[in-house]
Structure 1
């Protein structure tokens, strides 16, 4: 099994945090989004992962590439890097990794986290993972026949079609079939919104009789902007705590302070006259002094003083000393 991860976008809606690091490498509950995504998919598939192919922008740099290769190797898989330097759509992104498009594979866009427990349907040529939602008119959804096979993909219809939203994770029994259809999309310059889309390849597969089924996830968590990323951090902490995973490092220095779980507390964190939690992630080396923090995500080596934070997101090496509550400051920022 292979996992293909298109992640070339920087994530403009999550600025300023993505000005210095790609969105998929932003940590949630102490681990980068893409790291959690790949691990979760591997856990759901319950199969050996042969390769993880990451499609990134060339500007991400050598350090990012090394981190991504390490994620794959931790799963016992080969890590491969491909480049998409022009934003030409989801179908184009996948074809940037065409050398890896063979055999069974999962495609997963790296701005989503999931919780799921299901087995792949062996009768299906492909599976599209979905989540039942209350406002389907705001999403792309799948239309099913009486055999619960997907027969159509419908984008943001104001007329009710289905309440099963497409979350951006797909399984293909042989991804070479999708590769062939996407090559046809590129060769014939079939575009939607000025881009080459995966949906056009999928629609051609359906037209040729390929059977698509749904795989429904129990939780679908977005990381598109600051508010939803902080919310996703809180939800993930809750799930990990329920799984009885210890999230507080052993070498946290605590002086006259309280931790209200669930929280992720990284290595060498210092808490002085502080109340932290619930639903807080503090990255390695962060210092919190004379402050209260809840429902917030703080990255590494930050310094927080005299603060009362709620729904805040603070970047690496940032310094905050003030009375604002729901803040968003990026790496190396100072707000005093």
Structure 2
């Protein structure tokens, strides 16, 4: 994975427990182009790697902007960003990747963001504004104090931006309420915590005229997709070596145990870093990034979580 050297040019408190960082090259040169919904890997000083969505207008590549919420149960990533990163610090990042792109064929959109899920959505909104496309946003947050970019979004007007604050409403948002209306044919783009994502999935399943696209920040609580794990063999196309993957290990685990250093990051099927080509066999997809068409084709898989439906997989390693 190619790494890019950047410096933190600006750090801003955007809301309660949310900071944004503006990243620039030390030499001032432009960064690689990106599309709305893209994210980068941030290689943190505590040796952790975390993925953060780019929130800026994709027409502006003199800097990348990200926003990070300090998770209550942080495993060290967001805590490091909040406590250890300051203006002037040097960092390494990856080139942008996009698992959550705006699909072609639409010029009207409904965006739903829960909490820090506003980050990829904000880039999409800025892109739509530049293109003159129609959009509406439903922004859900625990409280007004936790709503990042609140003032910027308010400026778009109540006809386009609807806020729901749990503490003020006294309840979570009800997607079955008559006030929640989506015009037929308008696609839904959603990012947020698992309960929001599940509620929108349920809504979309009952409204097939509204295609829905999701960016998961963490696997659903009821994940473990794919059923009971069983062992299988994996053949490495380039060397011909055959390795057994037991029921309690992943393909990535086994490859690493045998000395293979492969790109990986989240180890949860969320980031696409470990994507590997499938030469033969039937993958048991357990990721959250492949499209339905990619899953059906079976020519690629995330080896950090996905397994095999066939006794053997031949992979491009």
TM-score by length of 1: 0.27
Compute the TM-score of the two structures, normalised by the length of structure 2: 0.28
